[in-house]
Amino acid sequence: MKKLEWINHPADLGFKVYGKNVKDLFNNAAWGMLNILTDLDKITPRVTIKIELKAANLEELLIIWLNELLYYYNTQQIIFNKFKLLKINESYLCATVQGEKINPSKHQINIEIKAATYHQLKINYFPKYKTYPWQVQIIFDV
- pLDDT (tens digit per residue) in 67-124: 999 999 999 999 999 999 999 999 999 999 999 999 999 999 999 999 999 998 999 9
Q: What band does 60 get if pLDDT is binned at 50, 70 and 90?
A: very high
pTM for the whole thing? 0.95
Sequence-ordered list of residues with C-beta below 8 angstroms from that of 97, at least 6 positions apart, any chain: 30, 48, 49, 51, 69, 72, 80, 82, 83, 84
Is the pLDDT confidence value at 1 over 60?
A: no
Angstrom distances, CA of residue 123 to CA of 42, 46, 55, 56, 83: 30, 32, 14, 14, 19
Q: Which domain holds residue 75?
A: 15-101+110-141
Q: What band does 7 get if pLDDT is binned at 50, 70 and 90?
A: confident
- Which candidate, 11, 13, 12, 21, places its Cα nearest to that of 3? 21
Within-domain flag for 135: yes
| pLDDT for position 6 | 84
User: Bridge-partner residues for 84, per DSSP?
Assistant: 96
- Domain of 124: which CATH number? 3.55.10.10
Is residue 132 within 8 A of residue 108, CB to CB? The reply is: no
CA distance 70 to 112: 10
Within-domain flag for 3: no
Within-domain flag for 9: no
Within-domain flag for 84: yes
Q: What band does 3 get if pLDDT is binned at 50, 70 and 90?
A: confident
Within-domain flag for 7: no
Count: domains in the chain = 1
Within-domain flag for 5: no
| pLDDT for position 8 | 78
Amino acid at 58: L
Within-domain flag for 4: no
| pLDDT for position 61 | 98
Q: Is 120 left (phi over 0), alpha (psi -120 to 50) or beta?
A: left
